[in-house]
Structure 1
Amino acid sequence: MAQVRQRQVFYIPGYDPIHPRRYRELYRKEGAAQAAISGYQIALSPKTGGGPYGWHVSARIEDAPVAAEFEVLVWSDLVRDSMSNGIPATYLQLLRTAWAYIGSGALWRLMRLRKGPVIAALYPVAMLLFQLAVAAALAGLAAKAVALLAAALAVPGLLATGVAVLAALAVLAGVLRGFRARDGRLFAYYLMHDYAHSARLHGAYPPDLEARLGEFGDRIAAALAGEADEVLVVGHSSGAHLAVSVLSDLIRAGRVPSDGPALGLLTLGQVVPMLSFLPRAARLRGDLRFLSTRGELAWIDISAPGDGCSFALCDPVTVSGVAPEAKRWPLVISAAFTQTLSPERWKALRWRFFRLHFQYLCAFDRPGDYDYFRVTAGPQTLAARFDGRPASKSRIEVAVSKYTSVQAA
């Protein structure tokens, strides 16, 4: 069915501790901006009924009325729990995460794909080490100052040494706490926790996340048994590989009815290789391989080289080394920021890396064939909208991962 009047959208965020209302407000603001640019109508209203956080969308796009129900599949509580480490524990995470990527050889292979996300991964390591170096230098100066003062006051040697050590420790702790208090601008701790979460089990999903994926699957399965014309799952950033695993589980379990709604998977700004290249990511690699052959869904992958936080135009199945001969998904398409954003807009956003990572969910002032709001609130299914659209010529389709084992279905 290509014509959609009712759509159920499930949005899976990336590694984000913030309340999901931010996504409603982003959709409201950017949807209004895109509607004004593109000449269609779109309006939000509160969600009715229970279940996860969401909202209702009423739209008239391409001269057709469409109603869409949005649900955010929340795992921000798990993210917050993983970010609850103190300063010393975060530095221990740094060592463990660096070893997970360097010791496994994954880091060098990731660098063969895109430099941007690897630099983004190295940034928190460098920034945290810089902060430690600054704190240590200031602590050393404080110790010397106390020692000089103690000598001038003829303080006994042992007592003077003890006071100098205490002063150094106090300065060290104070400077590190000061840096952490400013992490809303530096993002060093946030990114360190993000990469540590992926590397903690060397690519395997932790039990609490596996349980949450099961809950996500139940919500999507219920919608597939409902009256929507299309069920669309959107996975952004780290949410992309979670969406792959959820839908793989549903199809394997026979929970996608052949006579049910059209099923679409839209992955945006994916960072799949950060997990799939690790040695114990057999579950994810198996899901990628499985989903890439399935006819129960359409899978479109959107990214852009201008997004330095994603593995732009890297086919996540192929680069992970698990592409089967019967592979049909995903269709890898570029959002082409340098073309779909005006020169003025691109200039304003070019160095705002985190903002660009969310551009897929925002308005384009020179929209191409990708428009988030047409996809989620327009009258065509995901499959119909991109039917006949060729994959990006600049996509990367080379097996790069060292680890290619897959979990048995």
Structure 2
Amino acid sequence: MRRRVLYIPGYDPMPPRRYRELFRREGAAQAAISGYALAPLKRRDETGFGWGAMTVTEGERAEAEFEVLVWSDIVAGSMGRSIAATYGQLVRTAWAYIGSGALWRLMRLRRGPVLAALYPIVVLLAQALSAVLAGAVAGWLTAGLASWWLGLPVAAAVAVLVLRQWRRLDGRIFAYYLMHDYAFTAQNGGAYPPALDERIAEFSGRVAEVSAQGWDEVLVIGHSSGAYIAVSVLAGLAREGRLAANVSLLTLGHVVPMASFLPRADALRRDLHNLAAAGMPWVDVTAPGDACSFALCDPVAVSRCVPEGGGGPLVISAAFTHTLSPEKQRALRGRWFRLHFQYLCAFDRPGLHDYFQITAGPQRLAERFATRGHSPGRIARPANRWSHP
């Protein structure tokens, strides 16, 4: 088995090497737990950034070459905002979801990711309130010691200093990071910005190029926000008749409704409909323990994009409560970002979802999940106000 993996990250400004290091570290742990061999392998195709891997599972050897489809530059460009600009994003993003009615419809699906979306709004407002209160106290004290005309600039200066200090602490709080994330999705009412549209077209071309190179399987993986980007990448190929039979799709921890429920996300809803109609192998893995994803929500069905005759992904639960030991669950409690990346990591009580067997093992995606049906908790009720064009 020779597989090519094209990985599309979520909203992440970090360089792609973090995914190589994560794969090597967690893959070694999973191989030791599950009893198969996993070793690095030199890539034959060195286009872009990636790595190679080889597995031996019950005497059967398989090889894989990985490539990260990078859009971190677009992410980083969207994050370079001043404090004032970030609060402007807060107002526009809140209105995008509340004014369109999307927020209430999303709440009916899963409260976890909606609360995660409200987190940066609440935290940033609390930070602003603390800055105003600190400034008011400093101004009042200054006015009492000197005069009111000196108190006002002191109050303003203290408020600004407090806000800047909160900004410096965001590496621990993540309020600004999450605000930029949701603002990026909500800009233009859910329509893709031109830079992302162009990158999606580039990714489509890369998938078409790779799929013509004779690989046994070309596995496209989209994690988090990368899931809906992967959908658009492959749907474009399907419409053009260039989606090869050796291409499969794995989506992990998706947040598709955060985009598809917005009023101007017509392109994404069209892509969900078209890709579902194409009938390609597509497995979607989420977990109720991941509060940052729309766990077990069929992204096609809940977005009202199911084609006539049906279609869409096989919806599978990673079932953290069963695939992670109680000790591991305790260690990860409250670490929401780490849980959102668990799909790419080792499980100490592994089930059918083994990221390293799926990406570097001897079975194609469709073969591995051939006997599985949807997980019992699958949510497929159409909750979107808008349908596909």
TM-score band by shorter chain is over 0.9
Pairing partner for 2:222 from 208, 231, 235 = 235
**Aligned partners of 1:62 and 1:378 also within 8 Å:** no
d(CA) in 2 for partners of 1:168, 1:162: 10
d(CA) in 2 for partners of 1:143, 1:361: 51
Q: What is the match of residue 263 of structure 1?
A: 247
d(CA) in 1 for partners of 2:58, 2:190: 43
Q: Which amino acid aligns with 1:328?
A: G
d(CA) in 1 for partners of 2:43, 2:61: 18
**Aligned partners of 1:306 and 1:350 also within 8 Å:** no
Q: Does 1:18 align with 2:14?
A: yes
d(CA) in 1 for partners of 2:217, 2:150: 69
d(CA) in 2 for partners of 1:209, 1:79: 10
Task: Compute the RMSD of aligned alpha carbons.
Answer: 1.1
Q: Does 1:209 align with 2:196?
A: yes
Q: Does 1:28 align with 2:32?
A: no
Q: Which amino acid aligns with 2:216?
A: D
Pairing partner for 1:68 from 64, 88, 97 = 64
Pairing partner for 1:142 from 138, 145, 157 = 138
Percent identical: 59
Is the deviation greater in 61-70 or in 227-236?
Answer: 61-70
Q: Which amino acid aligns with 1:64?
A: E
Once the two structures are TM-superposed, the CA of residue 328 in structure 1 deviates from its matched residue by 2.5
**Aligned partners of 1:75 and 1:212 also within 8 Å:** yes
Once the two structures are TM-superposed, the CA of residue 350 in structure 1 deviates from its matched residue by 2.6
**2:277 alignment partner, SS class:** coil
User: If you compute each CA radius of gyration, which structure gives the higher value, 1 or 2?
Assistant: 1
| 1:117-171, Cα deviation, whole Å (9 max, x unpaired) | 0000000000000000001000001101110110xxxxxxxxx333212111111
Q: Does 1:199 align with 2:186?
A: yes
d(CA) in 2 for partners of 1:46, 1:200: 41
Q: What is the match of residue 38 of structure 1?
A: 34
Q: What is the match of residue 369 of structure 2?
A: 386
Q: Which amino acid aligns with 2:239?
A: R
| 1:306-352, Cα deviation, whole Å (9 max, x unpaired) | 00000000001111112123223200000000000011111211321
Pairing partner for 2:85 from 78, 83, 89 = 89
Once the two structures are TM-superposed, the CA of residue 46 in structure 1 deviates from its matched residue by 5.5
Is the deviation greater in 21-30 or in 285-294?
Answer: 285-294
Q: Which amino acid aligns with 2:141?
A: A
Q: Does 1:190 align with 2:186?
A: no
d(CA) in 2 for partners of 1:132, 1:116: 25
Q: Which amino acid aligns with 2:122?
A: A
Q: How many residues align?
A: 389
Query: After superposition, where does 1:1-400 map in structure 2 within 5 Å?
Result: 5-45=1-41, 47=43, 49-150=45-146, 160-258=147-245, 262-295=246-279, 297-400=280-383
Q: Which amino acid aligns with 1:125?
A: I
Is the deviation greater in 53-62 or in 71-80?
Answer: 53-62
| 1:369-395, Cα deviation, whole Å (9 max, x unpaired) | 110001000111101110021111111
d(CA) in 1 for partners of 2:22, 2:145: 56
Unpaired segments of 5 or more residues in structure 2? none
Q: Which amino acid aligns with 2:145?
A: L
d(CA) in 1 for partners of 2:249, 2:58: 22
**Aligned partners of 2:238 and 2:274 also within 8 Å:** no
**1:134 alignment partner, SS class:** helix
Is the deviation greater in 96-105 or in 220-229?
Answer: 220-229
| 1:46-101, Cα deviation, whole Å (9 max, x unpaired) | 54554221111122124211111100000000001000110000000000000000
Once the two structures are TM-superposed, the CA of residue 245 in structure 1 deviates from its matched residue by 0.4
Q: What is the match of residue 157 of structure 1?
A: none
Unpaired segments of 5 or more residues in structure 1? 151-159
d(CA) in 1 for partners of 2:72, 2:244: 30
**Aligned partners of 1:298 and 1:329 also within 8 Å:** no
**Aligned partners of 1:320 and 1:399 also within 8 Å:** yes
Is the deviation greater in 231-240 or in 169-178?
Answer: 169-178
Q: Which amino acid aligns with 2:278?
A: R
Q: Which amino acid aligns with 1:291?
A: L
d(CA) in 2 for partners of 1:349, 1:287: 35
**Aligned partners of 2:235 and 2:271 also within 8 Å:** yes
**What is the TM-score normalised by the length of structure 2?**
0.98
Once the two structures are TM-superposed, the CA of residue 218 in structure 1 deviates from its matched residue by 1.3
Q: Which amino acid aligns with 2:327?
A: E
**2:189 alignment partner, SS class:** coil
| 1:220-247, Cα deviation, whole Å (9 max, x unpaired) | 1111110210000000000000000000
d(CA) in 1 for partners of 2:209, 2:299: 28
